[in-house]
Amino acid sequence: MTLAESLKAAILNSKQSRYAIARGAQIDHAVLRRFMNGERDIKLKTAESLAEHLDLELVKKKKKRTKKMNGK
C-alpha cells in the first residue's frame, strides 16, 4: 500500500468530516477534496500534516525473507 493509499484509507476510516480533517491538519479543504477524488497529488508537507493530525506514523516495512535453494 502506498503512502497516498494509506492516507486516503485513514481519512475514509476517520470519524471526522473531511472539512474537520483539513482544518485540523491546517490545509485547504479544497486540496484535501482534490486529493481524495484523485484529481491531484499532495506535497510531502501536506502528507505530514495529515498524518500528524490523524495520528499516523510512518514505519519501515519489514523485508520478507526468501529461502535460498542450493543447487544440490
12 inside domain: yes
What is the pLDDT at residue 59? Answer: 84
The pTM of the full predicted model, rounded to 2 decimals, is: 0.80
Asked if the structure places residue 59 within a domain, the reply is no
Residue 69: the pLDDT is 66
Tell me the C-alpha distance between 58 and 60, whole Å: 7
The whole-number pLDDT of residue 72 equals 53
- What CATH number does residue 45 fall under? 1.10.260
Q: Is 34 a residue whose pLDDT tops 70?
A: yes
Rg (CA), the chain: 17
Q: What pLDDT does 38 receive?
A: 96
Q: Which domain holds residue 22?
A: 3-53
pLDDT tens per residue across span 53-65: 999 998 888 887 7
- CA–CA gap between residue 29 and residue 18 (Å, rounded): 7
Rounded-to-integer distance, Cα 37 and Cα 72, Å: 54
Domain count of the fold of the chain = 1
